Amino acid sequence: MPHPLLDLFPAGAGVDSDGTLVIAGCRVDDLASEFGTPALVVDEESMRARAREYRTALTSRRANARVVFASKAFPATAVQRVMVEEGLGLDVAGGGEILSALRAGVDPALIVVHGNAKTTEELKIAVEAGAGLVVVDNEDDVDRLEQLVTPGRSQGVLVRVIPGVVSSTHPHVQTGQVGSKFGLTPPAARRLIARIEASPLLDLRGVHAHVGSQVMDPAELAAAVAPLAALGTFPVYDLGGGLGARYTTEDRPARVDEYVDALMAAAGAHLPAEAEIIIEPGRSMVNGSAFTLYTVVTVKRDARTFVAVDGGMGDNMEAALFGQRYEAVLADRMCDEDAEDVVVVGRHCESGDVLIDPLRLPAARVGDLLAVPATGAYTHTMANNYNGYRRPPVVFAREGEARAVIRRETWADLFDRDV
């Protein structure tokens, strides 16, 4: 009988005859021996398949539409390169993401630049790179762009609008409600639109909205379309991203086809037929294609049973920041029977460094390999050096071969910026 958590891992995951988890033809014990732990392991083909699924779902329903990967979910150059090779544009939210997108080979015209507080330096990088669209969030963005754009040229922009949609997700990742730090209310957006339309240096291409992240009901995401349509007729409508990803067996996010159907139904009802539609999936694009592999460092059976691993909030801030729930398996003992309720904790000097509470596992032992599925989104990007932690490698696995696309930090790396 398959392990009940196996389907949280990338498609095609299996268990070898000795009970060891196998991903993309690679045994996890071999991955641990070659790359060490913790390690963020990506099933490359699974990630590519997801990109193709999104692209096909959108373009088969509307020819004048494009998918732009929200890079902040996993801003590794190698991941961005996968998206570019699969025909997607890149949504970037900072100077470093712009530069890595260019390293990944993206056509600058397919870059969409976001941010509620873009610096002059970041906007200069975007303008000089030829970024296709800058999403202006405020008057200050416009002031800076008008200083940076060379007379005789123009920069394509979208205006970010608060659609007034309250999504049923964690408050920290709600962005469509009145009072959000992102975007402008419709009256303020109208004033900024009029200003941009009068500027000889800026080309108003359209409007943008984003409701939030980890949203399970696509109707909440589609609800942003009508408020955008009420602002007028434009060449481009960027509907943002936000579709939820599956982290646990209880999560039931909408399928990509259901999500796109909901958006296209709203677009058909409210938007011009000739307008270009952009969507910006992030979390749902990459989360299921990766898992984090740890080694159990200590097991403490006392008032509670604590299974401590060699990582934690240094490589996964989602649990601490948003209370994100995860599952995990003993990856080299997949055939063993569950025996105890445990708390999986990290090695960092914080009581909040708890990865999973509670979790049912076989009786854990020091040296066991513990794998946490569904960690492709917002783990690498928020990894940090707390307690002198060395950020882990990113490993791509495909057809029985594995390669590091980002190496593990060294002790020397920690001091490279000392002066």
Neighbour-count burial of 357, counting CB atoms closer than 10 A to its CB (0-12 exposed, 13-18 middle, 19+ buried) = middle
Instruction: Classify each residue of 181-216 as buried b or exposed e, where b means 16 or more C-beta atoms within 10 Å of its C-beta.
Output: ebbbebeebbebbebbeebebbbbbbbbbbbbbbbb
Alpha helix stretches (DSSP H) within 249-370 = 256-270, 283-286, 318-322
Q: What are phi and psi of 240, to 5 degrees?
A: 70, -160
CB 208 within 8 A of CB 133: no
Instruction: Write out the H or E segment, with its range, that includes residue 158.
Output: strand 155-160
Active-site entry in 349, 351, 388, 418: 349
Active-site residue, 335 included: no
Q: At what angle do helices 139-148 and 120-129 cross, to 10 degrees?
A: 50
Q: What are phi and psi of 136, to 5 degrees?
A: -85, 135
Strand partners of residue 208: 160, 238
Q: At what angle do helices 77-85 and 44-59 cross, to 10 degrees?
A: 40
Single out the residue of 139, 136, 112 nearest to residue 126, CA to CA. 112
Q: What are phi and psi of 6, to 5 degrees?
A: -60, -35
What separation in angstroms does the CA of 177 have from each of 161, 172, 255, 267? 10, 12, 24, 20
What separation in angstroms does the CA of 227 have from each of 29, 62, 93, 174? 52, 21, 24, 17
Rounded to a whole number of angstroms, the CA Rg of the chain reads 22
Q: How far apart are CA 179 and CA 197, in angstroms?
A: 26
Active-site residue numbers? Answer: 349
